[in-house]
């Protein structure tokens, strides 16, 4: 969808902001451009909608050389979200969102109807927020309006320049979560500029790590963290890149242990061959757990079972799993399948979490599936 061919941007004073850049972004892919200030990432993004013109090379969007497209028409066909949001202070939220469709010829009623749909999509009820003005919104709400406005003309390409950089960490994480959900629905082709490697890792399908006007590595987040291409990339992603990799490594069924399982209406067993057992309801859904000490006496499992709050869906990240363990002071976390009415799949323990991380790193290094990785052990089989 986006293709750079030997693109260079050189200013009159001799400064080279971007040097011989060539890369491609596939349709529906979210690519994060990450690097220190002044490395050329924002210049790269602004050349896509011709806010900055390249000195050399060509840029293609959806197969068209953008140098042959009228700049105004080009910009109206590409969504653009910036850190400062850039909402019109004298227009309501609904009218701000309807701006681009109206400029493209959609009637006022149609543009406002489209705006209302998009506000709903980004989690802002148009009946509540539509008539408000930007200064009546929180920073996070203004960012959502900015995203809605960028999507209003249904652009194939979305450019985002540190859109969540001006909000506090808690709101930022929430916006990132909401944006990932939104992207799973709309599947736009996105260039996302950030200086935060954790944000780049969390959001990007691929990451372009910038040095001085050049891309040092362009790869999947897990590969950038697990196998940095250069010393510069290793230094940039940090010595704790193994911990960062937790956020991009999903929990898979093969990572799980299978503990003893009891049903709610089962009679209490005489003994357990383990320190605890998982308790399921009649449909196989997770109810909780019971300790070996509680699984004695008369009655049913229901009488002694405890609720289990330390749970998460399969496919969640290892970071989420570790965080859940810490939050609930749990020695394991239950994993369920949300697409099968939370059917219980198994449990993830700290040891299995570590093994999953090691398998993920080795799988990338060997270019094989995680299930095919054989790890060395200090003990003999």
- Please name every residue paired with 172 in a beta bridge, in sequence order, or none if there are none: none
Residue in the structure block whose two tokens are 């969102």? 97
Interval 93-103: pLDDT, tens: 999 888 888 88
Residue 265 lies in a domain: yes
Residue 115 backbone dihedrals phi, psi, to 5 degrees:
-60, -40
Residue in the structure block whose two tokens are 């570590």? 354
Task: State the DSSP string of 257-309.
Answer: B---EEETTSBPPS--SSSEEEEE-TTSBEEEEEETTTS-SSSBHHHH-EE--
Residue 245 lies in a domain: no
Residue 267 lies in a domain: yes
Interval 207-220: pLDDT, tens: 999 998 899 999 99
Indicate whether 222 and 322 sit together in one domain: no
How many folded domains does the chain comprise?
2
Question: To which H or E segment does residue 58 belong?
Answer: strand 56-61
Answer with the one of 207, 239, 271 that is the final residue of a domain.
Answer: 239
- Residue-number span of the structural domain to which 319 is assigned: 253-356
Residue 39 lies in a domain: yes
Indicate whether 224 and 321 sit together in one domain: no
Question: To which H or E segment does residue 203 belong?
Answer: helix 197-203
Interval 76-121: pLDDT, tens: 889 888 876 678 889 999 998 888 888 878 888 888 888 898 888 8
Interval 328-364: pLDDT, tens: 998 899 999 988 888 899 999 999 999 998 888 787 7
Interval 5-45: pLDDT, tens: 999 999 999 899 999 999 999 999 999 999 998 899 999 99
Indicate whether 42 and 168 sit together in one domain: yes
Indicate whether 37 and 127 sit together in one domain: yes
Indicate whether 113 and 154 sit together in one domain: yes
Give burial (CB, 10 Å; 0-12/13-18/19+) of 72. Answer: exposed
Interval 162-194: pLDDT, tens: 888 777 777 788 788 888 888 888 899 999 999
Question: Per the structure block, which two tokens stand in for 262?
Answer: 């009891």
Indicate whether 232 and 258 sit together in one domain: no
Residue 220 lies in a domain: yes
Strand arrangement of the beta sheet that strand 206-210 belongs to: 78-82, 157-161, 189-194, 30-34, 206-210, 215-219
Indicate whether 7 and 30 sit together in one domain: yes
The more confidently predicted of residues 319 and 371 is 319
On whether the CB atoms of residues 359 and 256 are closer than 8 A, the answer is: no
Indicate whether 110 and 12 sit together in one domain: yes
Indicate whether 183 and 126 sit together in one domain: yes
Indicate whether 92 and 235 sit together in one domain: yes
Indicate whether 18 and 54 sit together in one domain: yes
pLDDT value of residue 379: 45
Residue 378 has pLDDT above 50, yes or no: no
Question: To which H or E segment does residue 338 belong?
Answer: none
Interval 245-300: pLDDT, tens: 888 888 999 899 999 899 988 888 877 778 888 999 888 888 888 888 887 778 88
Residue 153 lies in a domain: yes
Cα dist from 321 to 172, 246, 258, 317, whole Å: 20, 9, 17, 6
CATH of residue 287's domain is 3.10.580.10
**Chain length of the chain:** 381
On whether the CB atoms of residues 281 and 301 are closer than 8 A, the answer is: no
d(CA 322, CA 310): 10
- pTM score of the predicted model: 0.76
Write the DSSP symbol of residue 19: E
Indicate whether 227 and 195 sit together in one domain: yes
Residue 195 lies in a domain: yes
Residue 116 lies in a domain: yes
d(CA 7, CA 46): 13
d(CA 80, CA 300): 60
pLDDT value of residue 107: 85
Please report the beta strands in 62-195, taking only residues with DSSP state E, as ranges in sequence order: 64-65, 78-82, 157-161, 189-194
CATH of residue 154's domain is 3.40.50.300
pLDDT value of residue 377: 53
């Amino acid at each position: 969808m986006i293709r750079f061919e030997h693109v260079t941007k050189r200013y009159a004073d001799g400064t080279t902001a971007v040097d011989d850049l060539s890369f491609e972004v596939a349709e529906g892919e979210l690519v994060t451009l990450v690097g220190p200030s002044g490395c050329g990432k924002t210049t790269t993004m602004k050349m896509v909608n011709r806010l900055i013109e390249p000195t050399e090379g060509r840029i293609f969007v959806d197969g068209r050389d953008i140098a042959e497209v009228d700049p105004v028409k080009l910009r109206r066909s590409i969504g653009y979200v910036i850190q400062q949001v850039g909402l019109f202070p004298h227009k309501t939220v609904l009218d701000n969102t309807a701006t681009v469709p109206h400029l493209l010829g959609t009637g006022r009623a149609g543009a406002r109807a489209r705006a209302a749909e998009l506000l709903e999509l980004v989690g802002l009820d148009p009946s509540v927020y539509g008539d408000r003005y930007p200064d009546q919104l929180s920073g996070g709400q203004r960012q959502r309006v900015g995203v809605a406005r960028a999507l209003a003309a249904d652009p194939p390409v979305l450019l985002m320049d540190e859109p969540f950089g001006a909000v506090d960490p808690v709101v930022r994480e929430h916006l990132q979560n909401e944006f990932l959900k939104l992207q799973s629905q709309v599947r736009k082709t996105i260039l996302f500029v950030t200086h935060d490697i954790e944000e780049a890792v969390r959001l990007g399908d691929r990451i372009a790590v910038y040095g001085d006007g050049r891309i040092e590595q362009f790869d999947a987040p897990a590969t950038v963290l697990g196998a940095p291409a250069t010393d510069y990339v290793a230094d940039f992603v940090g010595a704790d890149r193994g911990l960062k990799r937790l956020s991009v490594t999903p929990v898979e069924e093969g990572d799980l242990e299978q503990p003893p399982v009891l049903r709610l209406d089962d009679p209490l067993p005489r003994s357990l061959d383990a320190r605890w057992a998982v308790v399921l309801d009649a449909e196989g859904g997770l109810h909780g757990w019971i300790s070996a000490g509680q699984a004695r006496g008369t009655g049913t499992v229901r009488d002694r079972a405890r609720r289990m709050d330390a749970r998460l869906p399969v496919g969640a990240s290892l970071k989420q799993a570790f965080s859940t363990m810490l939050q609930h002071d749990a020695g394991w976390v239950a994993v369920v399948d949300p697409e099968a009415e939370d059917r219980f799949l198994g449990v993830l323990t700290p040891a299995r979490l570590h093994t999953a991380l090691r398998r993920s790193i080795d799988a990338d290094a060997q270019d094989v599936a995680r299930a095919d990785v054989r790890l060395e052990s200090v003990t003999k089989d």
